Amino acid sequence: MTETQTLPGDTLLYLGGVTVSFDGFRALNALSLVLEKGEMRAVIGPNGAGKTTMMDVITGKTRPDTGKVMFGVNTDLTQLDEPAIAALGIGRKFQKPTVFEPHTVWDNILLALAGDRKPRFSLWAKETAEERTRIESVLETVRMKDQRHRLGGDLSHGQKQWLEIGMLLAQEPQLLLVDEPVAGMTDAETEQTAELLREINKTRSVVVVEHDMAFVRALDVKVTVLHEGSVLSEGSIDNVSADPRVVEVYLGR
């Protein structure tokens, strides 16, 4: 029996035997992963292990060749495209921070706010007091209140990372997929980010991909180690660090 069958109600995300090939090269090789509701999971693994590809599969950017990708108990994500998956409540922060450079910080958050995405609505939409309050609160959370008028393109790398996390929050997703959030951040910023993710995790489920071991340790959550497209090891950071296979392929390099 698999975990999903024993605890169907508690499973938020289920990947079963997912394989993705690019020109014969298997970026994901029968990858399986189960995330419970409310869980935060750290995913680590060497370059090219398939971490980003896994997020591409979950968010509908890449279709798996084989395997199951389920959100909740009965939503098959492989049948949906990116906007539909986003609408279900899966938000994503990219490895390379991607914000709307011609827009202000404020407008970046405004565009990300959960709400109607149809042209018919947005053509007539007026910024409401309620939306303003929500934007203010997101800016507060990511500590960007005084940056609101700056253009996305003018921000530093670290600020873009924060803005993108802010956009993710504004989307109010059930599940956040966060790809390398602390790349380009100072130690202090890294610590703040860990704190922020733990705060977010009080109400939402999170999958974080990160290379920074200090950061992963600070998160203090279950860790999945990917290697060559499949799960090599899973458990607490201390357990996986002690796993000789992990030491060989990753930590011991």
Partner 1 sequence: MKLDRTAYLTLALSLGVPVALALLNQTTEVGSALHIPTYVVALAGKYLCYAMLALAVDLVWGFAGILSLGHAAFFALGGYAMGMYLMRQIGTRGVYGNAELPDFMVFLGWHELPWYWQGSQWFPFAVAMALIVPGVLAMGFGWLAFRSRVTGVYLSIITQALTYALLLAFFRNDMGFGGNNGMTDFKDILGLNVQADSTRSALMVISALCLCVQYLVARFVVQSRFGKVLIAVRNTESRTRFLGYRPEAYKLVVWTLSAVMAGIGGALYVPQVGIINPSEFAPANSIEAVIWVAVGGRGTLSGAILGAVAVNFGKTWFTGMLPDYWLYALGALFIFVTLFLPKGIMGLFAKRAAKPVAVLEVAE
Ligand X SMILES: Nc1ncnc2c1ncn2[C@@H]1O[C@H](COP(=O)(O)OP(=O)(O)OP(=O)(O)O)[C@@H](O)[C@H]1O
For the chain, the maximum distance between any two Cα atoms, rounded to a whole number of angstroms, is 59
253 near ligand X, rule: CB under 6 A: no
- Asked if residues 222 and 33 have their Cβ atoms less than 8 Å apart, the reply is no
- Residue 233 — φ and ψ, nearest 5°? -160, 155
Per CB under 8 A, the segment of 83-91, 133-141, 216-224, 240-248 that binds partner 1 is 83-91
Residue from 47, 118, 203, 252 in contact with ligand X (CB under 6 A): 47
Burial of 227 (0-12, 13-18, 19+ CB in 10 A): buried
159 near ligand X, rule: CB under 6 A: no
How far is Cα 71 from Cα 74, in angstroms, rounded to an integer? 7
121 near ligand X, rule: CB under 6 A: no
- The token pair at 133 is 């309050």
- Cβ neighbours of residue 149 closer than 8 Å, sequence gap 6 or more: 104, 105, 106
Residue from 45, 60, 91, 166 in contact with ligand X (CB under 6 A): 45
User: In whole angstroms, how close is the CB of 124 to partner 1 at the nearest point?
Assistant: 7
Residues 167-206 interacting with partner 1 (rule: CB under 8 A): 167, 171
95 near Mg ion, rule: CB under 5 A: yes
Q: How many residues bind ligand X (CB under 6 A)?
A: 11
Site string for partner 1, 131-170 (x = CB under 8 A): ------------------x-x---------------x---
Residue from 75, 78, 95, 192 in contact with ligand X (CB under 6 A): 95
How far is Cα 220 from Cα 238, in angstroms, rounded to an integer? 10
Q: Which is nearer to ligand X, 25 or 124 (CB)?
A: 25
Coil, strand or helix at 69 = strand
How far is Cα 88 from Cα 120, in angstroms, rounded to an integer? 20
How far is Cα 228 from Cα 250, in angstroms, rounded to an integer? 11
Choose among partner 1, Mg ion, ligand X, none what residue 82 binds, the Cβ cut-off being 5 to 8 Å by kind: partner 1
Choose among Mg ion, partner 1, ligand X, none what residue 22 binds, the Cβ cut-off being 5 to 8 Å by kind: ligand X
Residues at the site binding ligand X, with contacts judged by CB under 6 A: 22, 27, 45, 47-53, 95
